[in-house]
Amino acid sequence: MDDTIATIFEAVAASASDIRDGFDERRSYMDGENPTGDRQLAADVYADEVLEEQLLAVDGVGSYASEERDSVVTDTGAYHVACDPLDGSSNLKPNNGMGTIFGVYDEKPPASGADMLAAGFVLYGPITTMVEAVDDSVTEYLIEDGDRTVLDENVTVPADPTVYGFGGRVPDWTEQFRSYVDEIEQDRLKLRYGGAMVADVNQVLTHGGIFGYPMLEDTPSGKLRLQFEGHPMAYILEAAGGASSDGNQSLLARTPDTLHERSPLFVGNEALIERLETTL
């Protein structure tokens, strides 16, 4: 693995312990909103600041983009990192899973999925784990005090899928999407949805299945952001032998026109994604 990418992974692992230690005291909402209109908790803002500092300190990182800030912070270097610093932060109050998602690009965002060099996520669950994807290989680590221990050096999407989770209110789903969900229910997949993409995608990586946030009747682009959530998860799932889609094509074939662009997005077992594209 390239040295800069290895150092970026180390920096995210180090940040993860600080971010997690900061949860207790940062459970209240701030006055502001992020660029896509989500209310910001103190923990969102803190996670963003920690990652900005740690990632821009890595030699070779030329920019830091985040779901929590309007524009890209630039430095000098050929590697560019885009982050969702605290994914699923509305889960902080009810004490459920949350995460950090990041993608590494060789172009400054907004960048194409084809420009990705690596990606990963941290899951703040009962334990803190980190999944890293690079060179078509996916590794899962346990993080303790910023240090990583390998849990699984070859993460692959299990061949027999068992779980699914889709965002949005069911009455707002399109008719085609509802018929797809009926079909996969007939295949005995069971619903697992927790409201934090990282935790829900990690269930798909662990048990096999599909996660998605579809287009809704009144919001055709869905809720999740292509650059900060879609690309990194697509990169990880595709490297683990799965697939990704916006309903028509791989998310990695897409380039956002604007940094915070939203897109319907799906990741999971290849056969489930193919069936989704056929049904939609």
Looking only at residues 164 through 183 of this chain, which bind ligand F6P when binding is defined by CB under 6 A? 167
* Nearest-approach distance from CB 255 to ligand F6P, in angstroms: 21
* Nearest-approach distance from CB 234 to ligand F6P, in angstroms: 14
* Nearest-approach distance from CB 100 to ligand F6P, in angstroms: 11
Backbone angles phi, psi at 276, to 5 degrees: -60, -45
Helix-helix angle 175-186:270-279, to 10 degrees: 140
Q: Between 105 and 213, whose beta carbon lies closer to ligand F6P?
A: 213
Q: By three-state DSSP, how is residue 274 classified?
A: helix
Pair of tokens at residue 144: 């303790």
- Please give the radius of gyration of the chain, using alpha carbons only, rounded to the nearest integer: 17
Looking only at residues 148 through 167 of this chain, which bind ligand F6P when binding is defined by CB under 6 A? 167
* Nearest-approach distance from CB 208 to ligand F6P, in angstroms: 19
Q: Between 23 and 79, whose beta carbon lies closer to ligand F6P?
A: 23
Q: How many CB atoms lie within 10 A of CB 62?
A: 18
Helix-helix angle 197-207:231-239, to 10 degrees: 10
Contact partners, residue 23, CB within 8 Å, separation at least 6: 43, 92, 124
Q: Residue from 82, 189, 197, 205 that binds ligand F6P (CB under 6 A)?
A: 197
Q: By three-state DSSP, how is residue 136 classified?
A: coil
Q: Residue from 2, 195, 250, 261 that binds ligand F6P (CB under 6 A)?
A: 195
Q: Tell me, by CB under 6 A, how many residues bind ligand F6P.
A: 8
Q: Helix and strand tally (H, E) in the chain?
A: 6, 15
Interaction mask 70-99, ligand F6P, x per CB under 6 A: -----------------xx-----------
Q: Between 49 and 87, whose beta carbon lies closer to ligand F6P?
A: 87
Backbone angles phi, psi at 247, to 5 degrees: 110, -20
Q: Between 9 and 211, whose beta carbon lies closer to ligand F6P?
A: 211
Q: Which stretch binds ligand F6P (CB under 6 A): 50-58, 124-132, 189-197, 254-262?
A: 189-197
* Nearest-approach distance from CB 196 to ligand F6P, in angstroms: 5
Inter-residue contact 87 to 47 (CB < 8 Å): no
Inter-residue contact 41 to 30 (CB < 8 Å): yes
Q: Is residue 122 within the footprint of ligand F6P (CB under 6 A)?
A: no
Q: How far is CA 117 from CA 82, 254, 278, in A?
A: 12, 15, 29
Q: Residue from 196, 216, 233, 236 that binds ligand F6P (CB under 6 A)?
A: 196
Q: Which stretch binds ligand F6P (CB under 6 A): 126-134, 139-147, 149-157, 195-203?
A: 195-203
Element containing residue 270 per DSSP (H, E)? helix 270-279
Residue with token string 């309903």: 247
Looking only at residues 203 through 242 of this chain, which bind ligand F6P when binding is defined by CB under 6 A? 213, 223
- Residues lying near ligand F6P in the complex (CB under 6 A) are found at 87-88, 167, 195-197, 213, 223
